[in-house]
Structures are given as structure tokens and as C-alpha cells.
Structure 1
Amino acid sequence: MITVEITRDSVQRIVQFQVKGHSGSAPRGKDIICAGVSALTQSALLGLSQYLNRTIRWQAADGLLSMELCNLPDDQTSAVLETMLLGLKEIVKLEPDYVRIVEYRR
């Protein structure tokens, strides 16, 4: 199962996310659930760092992607991260046995 952990600040803006695991819904390279989650989360990371030029800390390994904003979130970073979360929630609606989202507050 893929677990997406979302961390929000005191005013409910996303400041960090971590994605762990594999869905196991299909063989490696053919798993569209993993591909969808990866596309959404990696696009958010790239949008923040390369398009918005925000400073972030991130880590990627097999079955892991984590990202943390180094500065306070703003409207643009929130738009990117909330859009990512909307997409992830749609995947959960379609495939709840393979992906779960947990939200935390700092």
C-alpha cells in the first residue's frame, strides 16, 4: 500500500509531504496506481523547485519521496500542493485498497 503523509502548519497550509510504499496492484513497470501517485507528487516537487524557484528539502529512493518547504508557504506553493492533494484524493476514491492519505498538523 502507498501511504501519503501530508503535514500542515497552524493555518492549514501544506508544508511537507511524504509518500511511502508501493501499491502492489500490478507488476513493477505496469502499476498505473504507482505511476499516478508518482506523477502527481514528482510534478508538485518540480513545480515548486523549478517553476516557482522555492527552496525545498527533498529525498527520493525506491518507494519513498519526501518534500519539505524551507520557507513559509505562500499562495503559489499552496496552489501547487493542494492541486497535488486533489489528484491524490481522486486516486484514493478509485483505489482505496492501494493508497491512503494521512494528514497531520504541526
Structure 2
Amino acid sequence: MIDITITRTDSDSIHSFEISGHAFFANRGQDIVCAGVSAVSVGTINAVHALTGVTPLIKHRDDGFLRCGLPNDLSEDVYEKIQLLLEGMVVSLRTIEEEYGKHIKITFKKQEVE
């Protein structure tokens, strides 16, 4: 199963997201659930960079793990644009979850105080 965790701030903005696991919907290279999640998440990261000039804080591994966070020093205008892109990502991922819920699970949590 693909596990996705969306971490929100106390004000309900998206702080980061993390994706791990595999859908096991079909054989490797034919798994439309994995492909969809990858396309949506990587596409969002690319859109954030292309449309705002901000490079998200990314950690990824070959086993399918992806973590994306935002830098702290963003202007309010840029932050709002990024939030809109991230909320669009959530809508797309939830649509995939609605159709393929046995293969993908989205969890929302609040940011832990550092």
C-alpha cells in the first residue's frame, strides 16, 4: 500500500508531505496507481519550482520514499501560491484514493512543535 502523510500547520496550511510504499495494483511498470501518485506528487514539486522559483526541500530514495517540505523564509504571496498548488495535489491524490482505496491511504496530521 502507498502511505501518504500530509502534515499541516496549526493554521491548516500544508507544511510537508511524505509518500512511502508501493500500491501492488499491477506488475512493476504497469501499476497505474503508483504511476498516478508519482505523476501527481512529482508534478506538484516541479510546478512549485517552475511557477514560484522556490526549490522545495526534498528527500527521496529508490524504494519509493519521497518527502517534500517548504523552506521557512517565503514571502506571504509566494507561500499562498505554493499552498494552492499543494491543495491541488491533495485533491488529485484523494481522487486516486477514492477509486483505489485498497492500494493508497492518505493521512493528515498536525505539525509537531519543534
Instruction: State the TM-score, normalized to the length of structure 1.
Output: 0.94
- Whether 2:98 is the aligned partner of 1:93: answer yes
Match of 1:78 among 69, 80, 83: 83
Secondary structure at 1:18's aligned position in 2? strand
Secondary structure at 1:28's aligned position in 2? coil
- Whether 2:25 is the aligned partner of 1:28: answer no
Unaligned runs of 5+ in 2: none
- Whether 2:69 is the aligned partner of 1:64: answer no
Please tell me whether Structure 1 or Structure 2 has the larger radius of gyration of its CA atoms.
Answer: 2
Secondary structure at 1:85's aligned position in 2? helix
Q: Report the number of matched residues.
A: 106
Equivalence for 1:15: 15
Q: CA deviation at 1:51?
A: 2.4
- Whether 2:49 is the aligned partner of 1:49: answer yes
Instruction: State the TM-score, normalized to the length of structure 2.
Output: 0.88
Secondary structure at 2:22's aligned position in 1? coil
Secondary structure at 1:91's aligned position in 2? helix
- Whether 2:42 is the aligned partner of 1:37: answer no
Query: Aligned Cα RMSD in Å?
Result: 1.3
**Whose strand fraction is larger, Structure 1's or Structure 2's?**
1
Which residue identity lines up with residue 85 of structure 2 in the other structure?
A: V
**Which portions of structure 1, spanning 4 or more consecutive aligned residues, are displaced by more than 3 angstroms?**
none
Inter-partner Cα distance in structure 1 for 2:65 and 2:100 = 19
Which of 12-21 and 46-55 deviates more? 46-55
Q: CA deviation at 1:11?
A: 0.5
Unaligned runs of 5+ in 1: none
Which residue identity lines up with residue 69 of structure 2 in the other structure?
A: E
Q: CA deviation at 1:59?
A: 1.3
Q: CA deviation at 1:56?
A: 1.9
